[in-house]
Structure 1
Amino acid sequence: MNNRQLFLSHLAQTTDFPLMIEIEKAEGIYMYGPEGKEYMDLISGIGVSNVGHRHPKVLEAIQNQLDKYLHLMVYGEYVQSPQVQLAKALCETLPSHLDNVYFVNSGSEAVEGALKLAKRYTNRREIISCVNAYHGSSHGSLSVGGNEIFKRAYRPLLPGIKNVVYGSFQQLDEITENTAAFIVETIQGEAGIMVACSEYFKALRRKCDETGTLLILDEIQAGFGRTGKFWAFEHFGIVPDILVCAKGMGGGMPIGAFIANKDVMGAFKNNPLLGHITTFGGHPVSAAASLATIKVIQEEKLLEQVETKANLFKKLLVHPKIRSIHNKGLMMAVEFESFEVLKPIIDRAIENGVITDWFLFCDDAMRIAPPLIITEEEIEKACGVILEAIEGR
């Protein structure tokens, strides 16, 4: 049996229609099939490969760590240089209020930890999240998701969850002294790149302060330079109580984190002790890769290039079938009339070597979130392929 047959026979499937693209190698913004077919990755593996596939400095960090040690002990017991140096580097990108990092393996796990921490610290049980939010697929993270289609088959989920409309000033009154946390994507991703205004975030911050509610910002997709700032909340003049990150954090390696004040994070140490446990969280190889990723973003000045590159996409992607483009930096949604119009365009673009996608809760919009290292020439090439796909070629 070949790999495609083995894939269908033995690998758990998530749909009846997987893409079935076979990849043998990846480099930079490109992936390559067995026969050498080249694919331009315009979605970064869904927000993961922010510094591109197999960045040389990330590979070097991984190799150096492989020569030292792999897993040693469950998280939080041994002093491991990759974890310690990564935590320090992360805190240096953040306001001083956020000075304590808990490493996990993924975005869903980071959300789970953040929710537990908020409930434990406040001794409250109610959590508020937003309509069309996506925070992950495990039971707790699914509970605070905002789309019933994905939730109904798995109920009962966590009790005490309220959904409000992202960006709604009026519904901020739902936050009360009973609310442990308000969890929100700084930029709503799977809703199709929805961006609330600064005034909303400032009002949200005030309401959380007034009620003693912890504000959790989910930057699993929006963090690590995707929007042109290292953290998306920097655009809005606020600071969260707990910050959640993953995806673009690891340079292609699995890692996530939730970050809070040391006093807040200390709630996990007593009653009970070991209030949150992970075996592989902050794996030394992933931590080394993540530290290298931060250095690449900073040293190659990728943040400074994001807005120019996003504007070039918007300048080039002009067609009567494109209704609008909304974005925050290189986190972009290109809107069409319907999924029925969009899906053949995506399929033709893939056939012609450019990989895009749609959004879970916005299937009439094309997802564009390329590696931040993409060049202007590559943007021009990619947009040419997309425009040809729109024309049916």
Structure 2
Amino acid sequence: MRSEFFKYQAQTTTHPLAMTISHAHGSYIYDTNQKAYLDFVAGVSAIPLGHNHPKVIKAIKVQLDKYLHVMVYGEYIQKPAVELCKLLAKNLPYPLETTYLVNSGTEAIEGALKLAKRATGRSEIISAFNAYHGNTMGSMSVMGYEERKQAFRPLLPDVRFITFNKEEDLDHITSKTAGVILETIQGGAGFIEPKNNYLAKVRAKCDAVGALLILDEIQPGIGRTGKLFGFEHYQCIPDILVIGKGLGGGMPIGAFTASKDLMDLLTENPKLGHITTFGGHPVIAASALATLTEITESELMAQALEKELLFRELLVHPFINEIRGKGLMLALMMPSEDITNKVILTCQEHGLILFWLLFEPKAIRITPPLTISNEEIIKGCSIIIHVLNSI
């Protein structure tokens, strides 16, 4: 299968990890040699309840026996999608009450950018340097990392960049600005949190000039930071909230949420302002509903903050310069890119899955399932320390 993987399946890098998967359960992934790997990555923050969670699997199987895709998004009333959007509204602050379900985080970003332009009649979008919001053309246009997008220019015009956490740059937000799009916690840049009420100050500036604030919660959302969404830590409510990854519970999904008045703008002038065939797919919506229900009705969010403290207590080593992030969205900062690579690859040999961040080569990603046990955290951290000691 390895040779067929490289021959028939398009690759994203020249050196994929190329582990051949047999099955997965809980906090573990198993290869075809039946070797178990403790998963500290969770599909890059996409599996908050671990692998094959029984409530998620049950919801999928129940829906499978009823119907799959029946009509393009928005035409028929389908209970899983309605209940999912209703539960999101129940757990979000006003006026975030209406959700558009799509297929991925990057598609949700596209919809959010369109909505900001439609609502304001303006064209300028402001993003942050080292931001990552997806890889389709609009999302790539607001990516703040030129090396990854220069080969695909021309991209969207009228995109400007500011430095995350730099208050002086807020003067670039003006009456020409349709929307400001920021990750609540910068992911690819190295899990950088907003400081000194930065997001609240961005919110105030947007209000002053009539621009919309879009917050990308694709990574920090769905309980990973100890609250359902990261913005709840920072006294800032966006005009448009973008969701993805963990919402699906292991199934592909994206969503953007805004007020009813804002979202209604996509229905006219022009009509069909945003359309998708498979958005709100009933099986995926059922999986997402089961995931969101479990996270909001359990103690997993509170436990994420407790587990963060355990990680910080255990991961002390001369090579660990800093641990960034919040909850179970953590990044170990190494002295060099070379050490980062050695740790990730050697830990996999020892049965622990770690991963890189997009733009920060010294960072090691730790984003395990929220369901990971303290015993599994202790086990995984001991492997990391052992590997660091061997370097």
Give deviations 1:34-73, integer Å, cap 9, x for gaps: 1110011101110101111111000000011001100010
What CA distance in whole angstroms lies between the structure 1 residues aligned with 2:118 and 2:368?
38
1:1-393 alignment to 2 at 5 Å? 3-197=1-195, 199-392=197-390
- The residue type equivalent to 1:60 in the other structure is K
Give deviations 1:200-222, integer Å, cap 9, x for gaps: 11111110001110000000001
What CA distance in whole angstroms lies between the structure 2 residues aligned with 1:40 and 1:193?
22
What CA distance in whole angstroms lies between the structure 1 residues aligned with 2:80 and 2:159?
36
Helix, strand or coil for the counterpart of 1:358? coil
What CA distance in whole angstroms lies between the structure 1 residues aligned with 2:260 and 2:82?
15
The answer to which of 149-158 and 290-299 deviates more is 290-299
Give deviations 1:284-314, integer Å, cap 9, x for gaps: 0000000000111123310110111011111
What runs of 5+ residues in structure 1 fail to find an aligned partner? Answer: none
- The residue type equivalent to 2:320 in the other structure is I
Shift of 1:388: 1.1
What CA distance in whole angstroms lies between the structure 2 residues aligned with 1:300 and 1:235?
19
Helix, strand or coil for the counterpart of 1:391? helix
What CA distance in whole angstroms lies between the structure 2 residues aligned with 1:327 and 1:75?
36
What CA distance in whole angstroms lies between the structure 1 residues aligned with 2:298 and 2:51?
15
The answer to which of 383-392 and 208-217 deviates more is 383-392
Shift of 1:328: 1.1
Percent sequence identity over aligned pairs: 52
What CA distance in whole angstroms lies between the structure 2 residues aligned with 1:188 and 1:384?
28
Shift of 1:392: 2.3
RMSD, aligned CA: 0.8
- The residue type equivalent to 1:81 in the other structure is K
What CA distance in whole angstroms lies between the structure 2 residues aligned with 1:328 and 1:301?
17
* 2:228–2:296 Cα contact (<8 Å) kept: no
Give deviations 1:73-108, integer Å, cap 9, x for gaps: 000000110110000001111012001100000000
The 4+ residue runs of structure 1 with deviation greater than 4 A are: none
What runs of 5+ residues in structure 2 fail to find an aligned partner? Answer: none
Shift of 1:198: 5.2
Helix, strand or coil for the counterpart of 1:357? coil
Helix, strand or coil for the counterpart of 1:294? helix
Normalised by the size of structure 2, how large is the TM-score?
Answer: 0.99
Give deviations 1:172-223, integer Å, cap 9, x for gaps: 1100111000000000011110001252111111100011100000000010
- The residue type equivalent to 1:101 in the other structure is T
Normalised by the size of structure 1, how large is the TM-score?
Answer: 0.98
* 1:198–1:236 Cα contact (<8 Å) kept: no
Helix, strand or coil for the counterpart of 2:356? strand
